[in-house]
Each structure stands twice: as C-alpha cells, then as structure tokens.
Amino acid sequence: EAGVTQFPSHSVIEKGQTVTLRCDPISGHDNLYWYRRVMGKEIKFLLHFVKESKQDESGMPNNRFLAERTGGTYSTLKVQPAELEDSGVYFCASSQGPGPLAGITGELFFGEGSRLTVL
C-alpha cells in the first residue's frame, strides 16, 4: 500500500513567486494535515482537513497560504507570493480517524516532506 506522497520533494523559488505543494494521502484516509518545520525549529501545525472540509486552519500563518482538498482526495498548499520566511519543510500527514487518537490505528502517517527554499 502506498504511503503519503508529497510533491515536489524540493522547490527553490524567488521571493514573490508562487509555489504549489501537493499531498496524496493514503487511500481511504479522510483526515489530512499540513505541518511545517522552519529551519531548526519545531514542527508546527498548519491545518486539518476532514474529507474536503477545513476542520481547523488555525495554524495557517497568513492569507498568502491557501490550502485546498477538492473531492476529498489529494490536497494542495499554495504560497503566493512567497516570502523568505516561508522557507522550510512542509509535511503532510493523513489518518483514518481524527488525528493521532484515531480509534483504529491511533497513528498519523507522514509524508517525506516538501522542502521549500525561497531566495
């Protein structure tokens, strides 16, 4: 069974440009999360989808970030326009139940992350 896949693995863009990150969750997982790790700091929550609905987007830093999950399958995270402080690794995770307390496996499955470098 395929795990959580993220694309691209690494993106280098200039300040002011637009980047779109994609996440394909594990098939059948209704819950999809985005997290971000800025260099050397902690991994921080960005938002949580349940199917196509945004359950919690309290971690989104500002309105330059737009996340979508049309059809409740894959998700995209667009940064427009990108700023220097947006550089970091963006992780996607999915689970069958509501997060790490899911009744079935109790586990979030993470992708390898998309490294974004803004110059």
Partner 1 sequence: AQSVTQLGSHVSVSEGALVLLRCNYSSSVPPYLFWYVQYPNQGLQLLLKYTTGATLVKGINGFEAEFKKSETSFHLTKPSAHMSDAAEYFCAVILGPFYTGTASKLTFGTGTRLQVTL
> What residues pair up with 22 in beta bridges, in sequence order?
7, 76
Residue 70's SS3 state is helix
Binding to partner 1 by CB under 8 A, coded x per residue (else -) over 80-109, reads -----------x-x----xxxx----xxxx
48, 60, 65, 82: residue in contact with partner 1 (rule CB under 8 A) = 48
CB of 15 to partner 1, least distance (A): 26
Burial of 34 (0-12, 13-18, 19+ CB in 10 A): buried
The number of beta carbons lying within 10 Å of the beta carbon of residue 2 is 8
Closer residue to partner 1, CB minimum distance, 48 or 82: 48
Binding site for partner 1 (CB under 8 A): 3-4, 31, 35, 40-45, 48, 55-56, 58-59, 91, 93, 98-101, 106-113
